[in-house]
Amino acid sequence: SLSLSLITLPVALFSSVSTVMASHFFFFVTLLILFLSLSSTAKNHDAPQDLVRSSCVHASYPNICLRTLSTYAGPAKTPRDLALAAVKVSLSRARKVSSFLASVQSESKREQAALSDCVEQIGDSVDELSNTLSELKHLRSGTFRWQMSNAETWISAALTNEDTCLDGFMEVDGKVRSDVKRKIRNVARVTSNALYLINRLDQTRRKAVFHP
């Protein structure tokens, strides 16, 4: 009986050690899989941000570009995605400014005249930005050059209208002028960034930006 106990004891110990080692092994494997999964997720999350950073660094207003596009809904995976997002930001802000301008009233004839002109000019900008957005949404490899030329022309015209609106307030003083200039400059800066990103897209011409 003693001999049997001496024989079975090492077997039991070996079995116990094996169980512990197996448990530790599976725990380690689980941790490794979790770590690799988190690393992959982090890399996938960082990729769009890397594109935003590398694209915005040479924009007309890099800090504004980085701030507006880093927080924009929907990850930008290609230069086309980024250009689309930039135009959407510009269009959204232009529409808000258009509504603001339409609501402003002034007792000064000169100021009211400048406001009326500005309403028309920003309204044109909204139309031109809408056309730009539509063109970018339907890019095709066969007509890419022509479509990009259209997009660049429209967004350049939108930027010109925004600048013209500002020029109309050069000889106008008061709070209305201050509010209008601040809002129009905000739109003009994001529009300028959008124009840069469209030009950048035109230069890359990667097949990945096209719809099949």
Question: Domain range for residue 27?
Answer: 1-46
∠ CA 166-168-170 to the nearest 5 degrees?
80
**pLDDT reported for residue 51:** 84
Q: Within a domain: residue 52?
A: no
The 8 Å CB, 24+ separation contacts for 202-206 are 202/148, 202/152, 204/79, 205/144, 206/78, 206/79
Our separate counts of H helices and E strands in the chain read 6, 0
138 and 98 within one domain: yes
- State pTM to two decimals: 0.73
What is the arithmetic mean of pLDDT over 178-193?
A: 94
62 and 39 within one domain: no
83 and 165 within one domain: yes
The mean of the pLDDT values for the chain is 80
**pLDDT reported for residue 44:** 45
Q: Within a domain: residue 180?
A: yes
62 and 17 within one domain: no
115 and 203 within one domain: yes
107 and 31 within one domain: no
Q: Within a domain: residue 176?
A: yes
**pLDDT reported for residue 196:** 96
6 and 105 within one domain: no
> Which of 84, 103, 79 minimizes the C-alpha distance to 176?
103
Least confident interval from 36-45, 48-57, 73-82, 144-153: 36-45
- Secondary structure (3-state) at 168: coil
- Alpha-carbon distances, residue 194 vs 131, 165, 178 (angstroms): 14, 19, 25
98 and 74 within one domain: yes
What is the arithmetic mean of pLDDT over 66-87?
A: 85
- Other beta carbons within 10 Å of 177: 20
* Spatial separation of the C-alpha atoms in residues 69 and 193, rounded to whole Å: 10
Q: Within a domain: residue 18?
A: yes
Q: Within a domain: residue 51?
A: no
